[in-house]
C-alpha cells in the first residue's frame, strides 16, 4: 500500500505516485495543509497607503476626461495636480455603438497626456474608470485595450449606480458634515445620476439615460432652440424621472446639490445674469430658459458667465435640471465642487484601509439569496488554505486571495433559483446585479468563476474576460472547484493532511492513502475532475502517500 494513483480518464493511463514522501517536481513548491475544518479565513490585509504616497484618479466622462493626483496627508487625499480635456465622447457615438475616428483619437491623445503624468505610479494607487459613453459601446473592450495601453493603467467600466455611489462619496467629503439626508445630482454628457444619501453613505441611487450632450443633440438638432422642442424635451425627460420621483420626494432629503460641470456652468450664468444670488432656483432656470429661447441658436449663444466650451451643451443641461426640479420638488440647488474623481480617491483610500465596499456587497448578496453561510465558510476556509500553498508559485497576491474569498461566499447564490444549473443562475445574477464597489469587468470576472466552478468549464467564458483577468480566473476557478469537491458532504468535518503543489500549468494534490480507502466517492470525484481542469489549461495529478 505504498503507492496509489488516480487514472487520467482522457488517456486511461495511471499517473504514477511514488511511495512515501512525494518528490517535488521541477518548478513546484508545496507545503502541508492540515486540518481544513476551521471556520472561514479572512483574506490577507490590503497594503495600506502611507502618508506622503501619491494616488491618482482618472474619470473618463462622456463629456470631459478628468485626472487628479493627490498626496496622502494625515489619511486624507490632498490634490496636487489636475488635468482636464473636453473630449465629448458622447458626441462621437454612432447608432451602431461604435465611436467615430475623430473622437477616438481625441480620447487616446488625452489618455496619452494623462499617462505621462501618471508614469511611475503603481497601478495599485491609480483608479481609472469609464462611464456612460463606454458603457454604451457595442464592443467596449476593443476600445479599452488600446486605451489601457495608452494610459498605462487598467480602466474599469462602472455602472450608472456605481457611478452614483462614487459621485456621492466625493461630494459628501466636500460638503459640511450633516446627519440629514441630502440629494446630489450629477448631469454628465450621456447620463444623469440622482443620489440621496446620509453622511458618506448613499441610500438611493438612480441613473437615467439623459445627459447634456445626448439631450442637446437629440432635442435640438441643428442647434436650433424652439419652444416646441423645449417642451418636448422636458416632457420626455420628465417621463424618465417618473420611475423614481415619488420615492425620492418621500425620502425626506433636506438640501440639494449639483456637482457636475453642467451644474457649475448654470450656476455661473444665473449668478452673472443676476437671476439668483444663492444657487440655482426654479425661477432662475425659467429665466435662463427664456434667454436661450430668445437667442434661438446654439452656435451663436452669448450669455454672461457662459464659456465657449459649455455653450454647445448648455441647452440639454438646462432642460434636464428644469425637469428634475419639477419632478423632485427642488426649491434651491447649491453647487458642490467635488464629485466623482474625488470619490475615486476616497474609494482608493477605503480599499487600502480595509473598508472595501465590495466585501459588504458580497455579504449582502449572500444574505439576499439565502446562501448557506456555514457551507460557504467551509468552502472558503478550504479554498484559502489551498491558495496559501500555491500562491507563491502562481504569483497570486492579496487581491487574488480576496477574489477567491468572495467567490467562495457566493458560489451557491444560484440555488435560490434552482439546483439544476445553479452555477449558470449564479453567474447571471453576478453579471447583472448592482454591486456597490464593483466595476463591470470585476462583476464579469466573479460571474465567470461562479459559472465555471462546477460541470465542464466553457473556454469562451474566459476568453470574454479582459486579458488581465484570464489567468486569475483560471487559477481561482481551479482552487474553488477543489474546495467544493472536498466539502461535498456539507457538514463540519476535518479534512486529512494534504499537499498541493503547483507548476505553471499543473497541480499535484497528495493525500493519505488511508483517506482514499475511506472516501471512495471523493476518489471518484477527483478522477472526474481531471478532465474539467484540462479545460482550464491545467493538468491535475492526484497521488497518495
Nearby residues of 36 by Cβ (< 8 Å), 6 or more positions away: 381, 382, 385, 486, 494, 495, 498
pLDDT at 9 over 70: no
Q: How high is the pLDDT of residue 244?
A: 96
DSSP labels, 177-226: --SS-EEEEEE-SS-EEEEEEETTEEEEEEEES--HHHHHHHHSGGGB--
pLDDT in tens, 480-507: 999 999 999 999 988 999 999 999 899 9
Mean pLDDT of 130-152: 94
Measured in whole angstroms, the distance separating CA 79 from the mean position of its chain's CA atoms is 24
Number of compact structural domains in the chain: 3
CB 220 within 8 A of CB 163: no
Identify whether 523 is part of a domain.
Answer: yes
Mean pLDDT of 378-393: 96
**395 and 370 part of one domain:** yes
Identify whether 4 is part of a domain.
Answer: no
Length of the chain equals 545
Q: How high is the pLDDT of residue 26?
A: 34
pLDDT at 91 over 60: yes
In CATH, what number is assigned to the domain containing residue 361?
A: 1.10.3210.10
**404 and 471 part of one domain:** yes
**416 and 487 part of one domain:** yes
Q: How high is the pLDDT of residue 536?
A: 96
Q: How high is the pLDDT of residue 42?
A: 42
**150 and 206 part of one domain:** no
**Cα Rg, the chain, nearest whole Å:** 27
pLDDT at 13 over 80: no
Task: Give the residue numbers spanning the domain of 307.
Answer: 176-335
CB 176 within 8 A of CB 193: no
Strands 498-503 and 32-33: antiparallel
Q: How far apart are CA 479 and CA 494, in angstroms?
A: 18
DSSP labels, 315-338: HHHHHHHHHHHHHHT-S-EEE-S-
Q: Which of 280, 300, 335 corresponds to the end of one domain?
A: 335
Identify whether 343 is part of a domain.
Answer: no
**260 and 381 part of one domain:** no
| Residue 8 binned pLDDT confidence (cut-offs 50, 70, 90) | very low
CB 258 within 8 A of CB 336: yes
**297 and 225 part of one domain:** yes
Angle at CA 28, nearest 5°, toward 23 and 30?
Answer: 75
**93 and 197 part of one domain:** no
pLDDT at 339 over 50: yes
SS3 assignment, position 254: coil
Mean pLDDT of 285-302: 96
Identify whether 144 is part of a domain.
Answer: yes
pLDDT at 10 over 80: no
pLDDT at 16 over 50: no
Sign of the Cα pseudo-torsion (134, 136, 137, 139, in order): positive
CB-based burial, 511-529: b 16+ in 10 Å, e otherwise: beeeebeebeebbebbeeb
**327 and 182 part of one domain:** yes
Mean pLDDT of 180-194: 95
Q: Which of 302, 335, 368 corresponds to the end of one domain?
A: 335
In CATH, what number is assigned to the domain containing residue 100?
A: 3.30.420.40
**403 and 452 part of one domain:** yes
Mean pLDDT of 356-379: 96
| The three grid cell numbers given for residue 331, joined into one nine-digit string | 426649491
| Residue 534 binned pLDDT confidence (cut-offs 50, 70, 90) | very high
In CATH, what number is assigned to the domain containing residue 212?
A: 3.30.420.150
DSSP state of 274: T
Strands 182-187 and 255-258: parallel
Q: How high is the pLDDT of residue 45?
A: 57
Mean pLDDT of 117-134: 95
**517 and 538 part of one domain:** yes
Q: How high is the pLDDT of residue 47?
A: 76
Find, among 79, 84, 24, the residue nearest to 56 by Cα.
79
Identify whether 391 is part of a domain.
Answer: yes
| The three grid cell numbers given for residue 33, joined into one nine-digit string | 495543509
Measured in whole angstroms, the distance separating CA 175 from the mean position of its chain's CA atoms is 25
pLDDT: is 8 or 492 the higher one? 492
Q: How high is the pLDDT of residue 39?
A: 38
Question: Considering the chain, what is the average pLDDT of its residues?
Answer: 90
| Residue 1 binned pLDDT confidence (cut-offs 50, 70, 90) | very low
**187 and 247 part of one domain:** yes
**153 and 188 part of one domain:** no
Cell 474619470 belongs to which residue? 59
pTM for the structure as a whole: 0.85
Measured in whole angstroms, the distance separating CA 224 from the mean position of its chain's CA atoms is 39
Q: Which of 107, 129, 158 corresponds to the end of one domain?
A: 158
SS3 assignment, position 504: coil
Identify whether 170 is part of a domain.
Answer: no
| The three grid cell numbers given for residue 489, joined into one nine-digit string | 458532504
Cell 489618455 belongs to which residue? 111
Identify whether 236 is part of a domain.
Answer: yes
29, β-bridge pairs:
502
pLDDT: is 10 or 231 the higher one? 231
SS3 assignment, position 27: coil
pLDDT: is 110 or 42 the higher one? 110
Q: How far apart are CA 130 and CA 65, in angstroms?
A: 9
Q: How high is the pLDDT of residue 159?
A: 93
CB 200 within 8 A of CB 181: no
Identify whether 476 is part of a domain.
Answer: yes
Instruction: Work out the percent of the chain whose per-residue pLDDT is above 70.
Output: 92
| Residue 48 binned pLDDT confidence (cut-offs 50, 70, 90) | confident
Amino acid at each position: 500500500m505504498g503507492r496509489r494513483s488516480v487514472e487520467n480518464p482522457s488517456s486511461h493511463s495511471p499517473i504514477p505516485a511514488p511511495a512515501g514522501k512525494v518528490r517535488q517536481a521541477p518548478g513546484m513548491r508545496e507545503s502541508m495543509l492540515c486540518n481544513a475544518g476551521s471556520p472561514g479565513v479572512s483574506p490577507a490585509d490590503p497594503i495600506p497607503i502611507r502618508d506622503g504616497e501619491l494616488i491618482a484618479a482618472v474619470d473618463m466622462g462622456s463629456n470631459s476626461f478628468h485626472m487628479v493626483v493627490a498626496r496622502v496627508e494625515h489619511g486624507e487625499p490632498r490634490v496636487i495636480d489636475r488635468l482636464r480635456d473636453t473630449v465629448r465622447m458622447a458626441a462621437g457615438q454612432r447608432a451602431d455603438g461604435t465611436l467615430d475616428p475623430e473622437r477616438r483619437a481625441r480620447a487616446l491623445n488625452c489618455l496619452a497626456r494623462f499617462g505621462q503624468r501618471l508614469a511611475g505610479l503603481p497601478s495599485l494607487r491609480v483608479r481609472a474608470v469609464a462611464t456612460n459613453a463606454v458603457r454604451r459601446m457595442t464592443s467596449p473592450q476593443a476600445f479599452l485595450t488600446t486605451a489601457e495601453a495608452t494610459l498605462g493603467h487598467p480602466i474599469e467600466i462602472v455602472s450608472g449606480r456605481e457611478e452614483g455611489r462614487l459621485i456621492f462619496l466625493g461630494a459628501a467629503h466636500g460638503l459640511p458634515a450633516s446627519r440629514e439626508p441630502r440629494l446630489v445630482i450629477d448631469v454628465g454628457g450621456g447620463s444623469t445620476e440622482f443620489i440621496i444619501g446620509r453622511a458618506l453613505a448613499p441610500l438611493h441611487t438612480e441613473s437615467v439615460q439623459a445627459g447634456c450632450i445626448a439631450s442637446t443633440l437629440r432635442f435640438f438638432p441643428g442647434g436650433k432652440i424652439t419652444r416646441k422642442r423645449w417642451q418636448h424635451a422636458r416632457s420626455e425627460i420628465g417621463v424618465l424621472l417618473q420611475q423614481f420621483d415619488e420615492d425620492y420626494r418621500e425620502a425626506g432629503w433636506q438640501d440639494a446639490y449639483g456637482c457636475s460641470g453642467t451644474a457649475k456652468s448654470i450656476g455661473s450664468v444665473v449668478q452673472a445674469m443676476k437671476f439668483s444670488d444663492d444657487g440655482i432656483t426654479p425661477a432662475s432656470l425659467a429665466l435662463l430658459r427664456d434667454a436661450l429661447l430668445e437667442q434661438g441658436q446654439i452656435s451663436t449663444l452669448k450669455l454672461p458667465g457662459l464659456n465657449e466650451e459649455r455653450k454647445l451643451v448648455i441647452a440639454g443641461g438646462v432642460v434636464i435640471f428644469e425637469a428634475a426640479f419639477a419632478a423632485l420638488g427642488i426649491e434651491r440647488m447649491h453647487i458642490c465642487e467635488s464629485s466623482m474623481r474625488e470619490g475615486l480617491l476616497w474609494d482608493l483610500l477605503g480599499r487600502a484601509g480595509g473598508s472595501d465596499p465590495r466585501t459588504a456587497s458580497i455579504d449582502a448578496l449572500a444574505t439576499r439569496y439565502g446562501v448557506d453561510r456555514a457551507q460557504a465558510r467551509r468552502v472558503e476556509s478550504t479554498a484559502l488554505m489551498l491558495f496559501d500553498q500555491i500562491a507563491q508559485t502562481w504569483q497570486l497576491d492579496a487581491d487574488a486571495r480576496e477574489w477567491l474569498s468572495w467567490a467562495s461566499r457566493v458560489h451557491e447564490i444560484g440555488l435560490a433559483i434552482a439546483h439544476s444549473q445553479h452555477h449558470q443562475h449564479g453567474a447571471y445574477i453576478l453579471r447583472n446585479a448592482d454591486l456597490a464597489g464593483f466595476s463591470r469587468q470585476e462583476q464579469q470576472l466573479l460571474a465567470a468563476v461562479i459559472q465555471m466552478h462546477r460541470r465542464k468549464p466553457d473556454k469562451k467564458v474566459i476568453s470574454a474576460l479582459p486579458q488581465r483577468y484570464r489567468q486569475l480566473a483560471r487559477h481561482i476557478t481551479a482552487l474553488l472547484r477543489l474546495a467544493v469537491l472536498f466539502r461535498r458532504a456539507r457538514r463540519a468535518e476535518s479534512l486529512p493532511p494534504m499537499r498541493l503543489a503547483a507548476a505553471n500549468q499543473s497541480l499535484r494534490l497528495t493525500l493519505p492513502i488511508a483517506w482514499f480507502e475511506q472516501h471512495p466517492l471523493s476518489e471518484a470525484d477527483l478522477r472526474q475532475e481531471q478532465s474539467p481542469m484540462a479545460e482550464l489549461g491545467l493538468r491535475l495529478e492526484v497521488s497518495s502517500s
